[in-house]
Each structure stands twice: as C-alpha cells, then as structure tokens.
Structure 1
C-alpha cells in the first residue's frame, strides 16, 4: 500500500489485483467480473458504494488484459474523512464476487457489453484494423480471439465466482491513495493507513479462518470448517479432470432393522431433487457437462461422489452440495425407487450366487446389520415414507460429520470458500453436531454353522466363510496376500479345483473388512453332481494353507498383482478421492490413500 499527501481537493483511491493473461482459461470470467463490479450505472460499485452507502463521489472498475498478464483496477474519488470507509466498501463488493455467484441478469449484461465490442469495431475499417493489431499483439494468434469469445459465451455464474475466489483475494490487492494535504496531516494519514490495512485483512465471518487450506508434508491440503466438515484435497493438475467424494460414516451398520433398505433408498434419492433443482433438471445439467454425480450406500458409509472436467468442477461441486444439504426425498421419487428395489430383491432369487452370499452373511453376522442385504427387505422398504427418510437423514448424516475429499485439477482455496458459502446459505455453516449413537455391537459365531438352500437349478453355489478382521487391522495386507495366493486367477483354488480336477466353473476368495467386523469368504460354482467333491477339494486346500506357508514365488506374485492393481487404480482422480475420504472417515492413516507399502513387506 502506498499513501501520499498532495495538493488535491479529494482523495483519489486506486485498488488493483493481478489478473489472467489474454487467452488464459479464466480471462473471460475476470473480464465479466470487472464489468459486473464497476462498468456503468447499474454496476455493483455504483449502486452500492456511490448511491446506497454514499462513501464515494465517483467510482469505476475495469480489467486490462495483456499478453503476459493483466490487472483488475478499481478507481474512486471520495472525501478525506470517508477514505477508509470507501476502501472497506469496495473490498466488501470484491469479496461478494468470490463468496456467491453473480446473478444470471448481471452475467448476461456483462457478456453483452464485452461481446458488443467485437461488433462495434467491425463497423469501420479503422476499427477492423485496430482489432487485428490488438489481437495479434494480445494473443500472438488471430484465431485465439474466437476462443476467447467462445469461452465468454460459455461462462456460468459459478465459473465467475470461482475465478474471483482465485484472483481477487484482498490479501493480493495493491492500494494507492492520494490525500488532500490541506485536510490530512501526518498523524491523520497514519490513522487512515492503519484503517485501510485493517480493511484489507480477511473478513471476520463465521468459519472464515478455517477456509485457508493447510498443506501437510504428504501433499494433502486440509480445511476444517466451523460446522466440523473436513475437506481434504490432493491436487493433480496433469489432466484437466476433477473428482470428489462426500462421505459420512454410517451406511448399513447404522440402519434400523424395521427400515431395512433406507440407506440404499436415501443414496438413490440424494440426486433426485433438492431445494434448488429437480431430479430431471439435475440429470440434464450433469449430463450436459459430461459429468457424473451419484449417491452410494455401503456397509460402513454413505454419501455422494462426482467426476467432471476441471472447468465444470465449481458447477458440479455446487450441485453436490445442494444434494447434500437440501435433499427433498419426494414421495413420487420414493415410490419409483421402492418399486425398483422390490423388483431387484425378487429377481435375486434367480441368482444362486447372490442367494448363497446372503445366506452366508446371515450365518456369520446374526443380529448385526451386516447380516441383511444392502438393498433392504420387502418389509423395510414398504415401511419407508418421505418423513422417515428425512428423519434418518437429519439424525444420522449431519453435515458436520462428513468428509469431502477432492482430487485433480482444482483450486483448493476456491473450493473451500465455495463449500463454506453453500453451507452458510443453507444455514449449516456454524452448526456443530455430535452425530448419531453407536451401532449394534457384533458378536462373532462361537462355532460352525451350515445352511443349505434348495433351488431347482443345474448349478450349485458354495459360500464358505469365517469371521475376519475390522477395517484398519494391521493384518489387512496379510489377508489380501493370502486371498490372492488362494483365490486369484493363478491361485491354488483355481488351479486345483478348475484346472487340475475340473470340479468348478469358477472359484474366488476375498477378505471383506467392516468397521465393526469382517469376514473371509470363498465362493465357488459347480454342477450339482460335483458338489461333494468340490466341497472336499476346497477343504483340502484350506487345510493345506493352514498347514504349510505359501512359497516365496506365490507370495511375490500375489504382492506384484495387488500393488499393480492399486497403482492402476491411482490413475483415476475418483479413486484417489475415494481412498482419501474413506481413510479419513474410518480414522486410518492418510498414507494409506497413496500407497499400500505393507504389501511389499
């Protein structure tokens, strides 16, 4: 900030921010923001600071966009006594651009003003010559001008807000003041300077201090908002793709038996209408951006996940936040989802493998919710009403208990500011919550249990299981390796039962971990006449695994396959975000989301 006393009658104030270079991705957005801010009598600065607050006598804003960078400038005239108030008023309007999207009317006016330039200068040969020279100077390529106007035409209010959050931070402002010497002595000048410096500090709004991300040594940027929501981000700008997972602990383990299926229905209806957008309109908006936005419900968690091109990230994040904060759970949408769920449950009888798995879960988990199918039960689904869904949502999934993990080509500070503004608008910005009570405890089976389900089918399906381990157990990598040694495509079970003895069509082994408990399972399909031999062969391989350790070659092959699968998954931004979110929700080390080095040990 510079301040000087001069032989002038009024205070002359100039505030400036760095801006994108000509042709940069956000150049059009900042140009539009400058028009909304201070171009013409209907601009915000004129309407608010000159007419309403009456702290300036003249004010305007514009953006000078040049080949290697630009500048957003606000110039104003005011009295000596109103200098600090004028600067504070200007900064309030600049912050407003970053906190909330401009209106559709304001954006349409800005686009019309910027696009009219192109039309008017074509009217004369002098104008055309000037345009050609300016374009060649600014862009270095005459074709780039068309790209700029295409970007301008595609601008959305949220894109303007996001660009302003990135570029127009008060902390980055340069301020120059020229004060009337006759009215301002040196002590008063110092007082004005101190007041302006105070106005340049971040606004003291609820939760604002938490908006600035902290970057840990592992490269994960983190923000905890006032309501308790934890935002984590892994910036990967190599590809213009972004993804996010908004996750709550809960899911099947927290579902009441009388409303079995509620979490599955909640997850499906989160994207079928909210206070701002109806289900069909939301689907069209997401499809129109070639993006994805879906709810999900699992054994241990529930939430939303999305993936999009990075230029659409603010808009898609906005839709996800609307779904999370103001879901409707409309009666007609519930009826449709219930119809589909009941049909899915009825059709499950046609899948012997699914029937066998459901029977295994019932034997292993008893009264614990993990014994029930995730889709629910007919009785539970029929008992659901919109009011009951809303009650479960309020009780089990307060926003302060959620984790939002982002990955990809994103601006973390802008995303955090957008989340904070959305929660404040929904009345949730400061609402701390304790979350629901603890779920039912798991009691492991004390002895062998067996169940036979008879169906008139040619095939027979085997689901054989043992109580396993909980999420985060240090033995997880060991069980993963053991499952790969026994159940992989080159594993012992596949080789012995299918390749050598020809007893099964398929066979696999898996370890499933949950927050309360887990299980290890072997699944196989065979013909009815080979069922006894297949069971005996599986038992023999299990006994062999208990009796003798796998060879070094088997272990190394299993580890190589697991590490390879993990690293292939890490190519996807959505996978990065999901692992980061789940690790945080489950209270696991964040390093788990980036590497499974335990497999290598």
Structure 2
C-alpha cells in the first residue's frame, strides 16, 4: 500500500489544484502549483483556531560548493535581519504583537522558515515569511555581526560532547559524502565565507520554482494560494511562468567503504559513544521496518538497549538508538553516555543487542509493542498543526507522495518480525563505525566493535 503520488506538474496560467486526501470531518489536503512553479500544500483542520505556515526551500548543507560550506545556515540567520520593506525589529514585532512565533531550521537537504499564529493572523504570517524569503537584503553590517553570532552557536554546540559525538558519527559513517559535513559549517569555513558567497547562494536557490509553501490548521486553501501568489508578485517573483524544480534524485545508500573508530579526547565526566552503520534512504520501503527495528532496539524504556544497559546493569543514564534518512543515504546509530571506565563494555553490549536481534529475531510481543509505540506517537503527533505542516513539506520535497494517517498506520502494522530480523542482519553485515568523546587517549582502541 503506497501513499498518493505528488507529481510536479507543468506551469499553468493559474493554480493547478488537486485534492490529495479527504479524510472526512472537514480535514482535507489540497495541493496547487502556481504559475511561477511554487507549490502550495494545505491541510484544513476546522476544529483549530491556529495555523502553522511554512516555506520550504529544497536546498540544504549538502548542496554547498567548496568555499561556501556553512552558507545555507548562515543565510537562514540573515533572512531574519531585514528585507526591502522590513527591519529585523519589524519582523520580530509582527509575530510578538499577535502572540505568534516564527523560526527556521536548516537541514542537510532542505531549509524551512515557519510560523504559528491564530487563524485570523495567517495573512500577516504569509506576508512576513514570504517577504523574508524573497526580499532579503543581506546588509554587510548585519552579515558581519551575524557571523559572530554563528561562531558562538558553533562554540555552544562544540561544548556539548553529545552533539560532538553525533556530528562526528555522521562524518565517519558517510565518509566523503556531502551529507557527512556539519550543517552549520566549521569556525574556519564561517570565518572564510564572504557576504558575496552567501548572496550568490541566495540568488541561485531562492526562486519560486524551488519553493514549497505548506500550511495546516483553520484555513481556506484558495485563500492561502491567493495570498502566496500576491506576495510573490509583490516581491517581483510571482509572474514569470516556470515549472517546479525537480525533486532530488534518489539512489542506493552510500557511505564509508570500511568501518572506522574515532576518539575525540575531551576532559568530560562521561564518555559519549555512538556506534552504527549506514541505514536506508528516505524513499526506501524498508524505512517502516527500520522504524520498528529502532523502536524495539532503543526507542523507549521497554527497548532492549534501555533494559539491558540501564535497567539490568546500571551502566548508563541515557541509552537509545536512532536513524536518519536522506535521498541517497542514511545511517543507524546506537548511543550511550557512560563512565569512561565502562565505555568498552557498554559499546560491546550495544553491539551484542543488535547482533542478537539479527540472529534470534524478536517475538510477537516485542513486535506488537514496537508498532504500538510508533502508531501512538504518529497519531498524537498529528494533533499539532506544526507536525501536519511539516508532514506536507516532507511529502512534497522528500517522498514525492503524501501518506495519510490510515495508510501510514497500515504500513506500520504490515511489518513482520521476519522483516525486522532480516534488516537487522543486513545492518550487522555493513561496515561499522564507532565514535567516542571523552577523557580517552586518542589511540584508545575500540576496534573490538568494528566490523
């Protein structure tokens, strides 16, 4: 059972609108392609008094060229600094005055600017967010001051050993792949990048055909389309006809060709360990099987890692598993924070649980509990308009299909114990890496858990 395909569609003289899903009770998902190639997806939630609105740009840190690393995240900061019509204070005050909130997030494959407001303030949110995205000025003084802010942000992240472990894990597992680079760049690249570099990145990628506008809550689809179109035209970008930019192509999972052990020596009280390998892509049908595997292995208090490492042995306070999926790569990781003296033992125990799942599989009770955890989380998450808004953006940019709640639940419930075991066995056979951050000598040997 698949979701509903979202074809890109040609540019037209007016919005090309389709009803993607009508689940009854007034909850309707609609999608339009504007003449400029911009796409608008909405989900009507009649019982809400709020609306979450977002503008998605199909470009992330992986798309940066040499010398521009960190430009995408830098630009995210700068778009809040002012436009041709608004100052930074004007942008902030617009949302504060109505009790709303606005923010942004840079990912490895897309960037999002979003807001949550009362339904009556949606026209304002569309105006301000679209103005930010389409009419930024990137003032030289703002650029210089924001560089210092970003350097402080990078320093803050570097002070968190758990963040360091996760970031370096992506690097060692994905190897030379652009997805292995840190989203925010490094202090060296941020100091080196110039205003003209970021401006070139902005002008090249922030065009209507690259944009996806999503909204969920108490709204009218046609009114949202009309407001977006009007704001694009005000910015001088809504009239030239164009086809939507092609979605990012998929491919087979790529990563490092051999496992690697990396030790980052830090004077911390705890050791932070991440062990894992490449996973599956964002469009791989096995992503549902991987979700169940993750839930069973380290997704909650009843998971194998939590029970074995924390409850039975008391070796860690925080222990879990995770996965990340991209268009042509992905990874699976097991994390634990523990005493440095116990690090080798904990790393071995985490690996043993993955191997045991691959060799012995799981029983029906574990399978039922894992699926139930995911199903409940999915349903509860969709009570929030922001989650629904995000689901629309990912459906359009990442998956190329919209998966309604009933379909998503059916896919989860179709996962079998045999499928989970087979996927675990495949993961065990892949090149395996480990990252450790803590008070270790840099030649500390974790090779015992490598493949």
**TM-score exceeds 0.5:** yes
* CA distance, structure 1, for counterparts of residue 52 and residue 265 of structure 2: 45
- Alignment of structure 1 residues 390-429 onto 2, 5 Å: 390-429=199-238
Give the SS at the match of 1:421.
Answer: helix
Task: Determine which of 448, 451, 460 is the counterpart of 2:262.
Answer: 451
Task: Determine which of 60, 77, 87 is the counterpart of 1:268.
Answer: 77
- What is the CA-CA distance between 1:207 and the residue it aligns to? 6.0
- What is the CA-CA distance between 1:503 and the residue it aligns to? 1.7
Shift in CA distance, 207/437, structure 1 to aligned 2, threshold 3 Å: closer
- What is the CA-CA distance between 1:494 and the residue it aligns to? 0.7
Give the SS at the match of 2:320.
Answer: strand
**2:338 equivalent to 1:540:** no
Q: Quick check: 2:37–2:244 contact (8 Å CA) kept in 1?
A: no
- What is the CA-CA distance between 1:592 and the residue it aligns to? 4.9
**2:160 equivalent to 1:351:** yes
- What is the CA-CA distance between 1:593 and the residue it aligns to? 6.9
**2:136 equivalent to 1:327:** yes
* CA distance, structure 2, for counterparts of residue 593 and residue 414 of structure 1: 25
- What is the CA-CA distance between 1:386 and the residue it aligns to? 2.8
Q: What is the match of residue 121 of structure 2?
A: 312
* CA distance, structure 1, for counterparts of residue 59 and residue 128 of structure 2: 22
Give the SS at the match of 2:314.
Answer: coil
Give the SS at the match of 1:465.
Answer: strand
Give the SS at the match of 1:343.
Answer: helix
* CA distance, structure 2, for counterparts of residue 243 and residue 416 of structure 1: 15
Q: What is the match of residue 209 of structure 1?
A: 14
Shift in CA distance, 439/551, structure 1 to aligned 2, threshold 3 Å: closer
Q: For 1:54-94, what per-residue CA distance to the aligned partner results, in whole angstroms no more than 9, with x for missing partners?
A: xxxxxxxxxxxxxxxxxxxxxxxxxxxxxxxxxxxxxxxxx
- What is the CA-CA distance between 1:588 and the residue it aligns to? 2.9
* CA distance, structure 2, for counterparts of residue 237 and residue 359 of structure 1: 44
* CA distance, structure 1, for counterparts of residue 219 and residue 327 of structure 2: 31
Task: Determine which of 412, 416, 425 is the counterpart of 1:599.
Answer: 412
Q: What is the match of residue 291 of structure 1?
A: 100
Q: Quick check: 1:576–1:593 contact (8 Å CA) kept in 2?
A: no
Give the SS at the match of 1:244.
Answer: strand
**2:60 equivalent to 1:247:** no
* CA distance, structure 1, for counterparts of residue 362 and residue 247 of structure 2: 43
Task: Determine which of 375, 379, 388 is the counterpart of 2:184.
Answer: 375
Shift in CA distance, 439/355, structure 1 to aligned 2, threshold 3 Å: farther
Shift in CA distance, 587/369, structure 1 to aligned 2, threshold 3 Å: same
Q: TM-score, normalization: structure 2? A: 0.82
* CA distance, structure 2, for counterparts of residue 439 and residue 343 of structure 1: 35
Task: Determine which of 371, 378, 387 is the counterpart of 1:566.
Answer: 378
**2:284 equivalent to 1:473:** yes
Q: Quick check: 2:254–2:278 contact (8 Å CA) kept in 1?
A: no
Q: Structure 1: which 5+ residue stretches go unaligned?
A: 1-205
Task: Determine which of 334, 340, 360 is the counterpart of 1:522.
Answer: 334
Of structures 1 and 2, the larger Rg is shown by 1
Q: What is the match of residue 498 of structure 1?
A: 310
* CA distance, structure 1, for counterparts of residue 74 and residue 254 of structure 2: 28
Shift in CA distance, 307/347, structure 1 to aligned 2, threshold 3 Å: closer
How much is the aligned-residue C-alpha RMSD, in angstroms? 2.3
Task: Determine which of 263, 270, 273 is the counterpart of 1:462.
Answer: 273
* CA distance, structure 2, for counterparts of residue 555 and residue 434 of structure 1: 41
* CA distance, structure 2, for counterparts of residue 498 and residue 525 of structure 1: 10
- Alignment of structure 1 residues 57-68 onto 2, 5 Å: none
Give the SS at the match of 1:258.
Answer: coil
Q: Quick check: 1:286–1:292 contact (8 Å CA) kept in 2?
A: yes
**2:91 equivalent to 1:278:** no
Q: Structure 2: which 5+ residue stretches go unaligned?
A: 1-10, 23-27, 415-451
- What is the CA-CA distance between 1:257 and the residue it aligns to? 3.8
Shift in CA distance, 216/371, structure 1 to aligned 2, threshold 3 Å: closer
**2:401 equivalent to 1:589:** yes
Q: For 1:560-588, what per-residue CA distance to the aligned partner results, in whole angstroms no more than 9, with x for missing partners?
A: 11111111111111111110111111243
Shift in CA distance, 391/592, structure 1 to aligned 2, threshold 3 Å: farther
* CA distance, structure 2, for counterparts of residue 221 and residue 438 of structure 1: 22
- What is the CA-CA distance between 1:439 and the residue it aligns to? 9.4
- Alignment of structure 1 residues 10-409 onto 2, 5 Å: 209-210=14-15, 213-218=17-22, 219-409=28-218
Give the SS at the match of 2:238.
Answer: coil
* CA distance, structure 2, for counterparts of residue 439 and residue 257 of structure 1: 21
Task: Determine which of 368, 372, 397 is the counterpart of 1:556.
Answer: 368
Give the SS at the match of 1:209.
Answer: coil
* CA distance, structure 1, for counterparts of residue 328 and residue 183 of structure 2: 16
Q: Quick check: 2:21–2:404 contact (8 Å CA) kept in 1?
A: no
Q: Which is further off, 520-529 or 442-451?
A: 442-451
Q: What is the match of residue 295 of structure 2?
A: 484
Shift in CA distance, 268/436, structure 1 to aligned 2, threshold 3 Å: farther
Question: Paired residues, what number?
Answer: 395
Q: Quick check: 2:40–2:212 contact (8 Å CA) kept in 1?
A: yes
Q: Quick check: 2:396–2:402 contact (8 Å CA) kept in 1?
A: yes
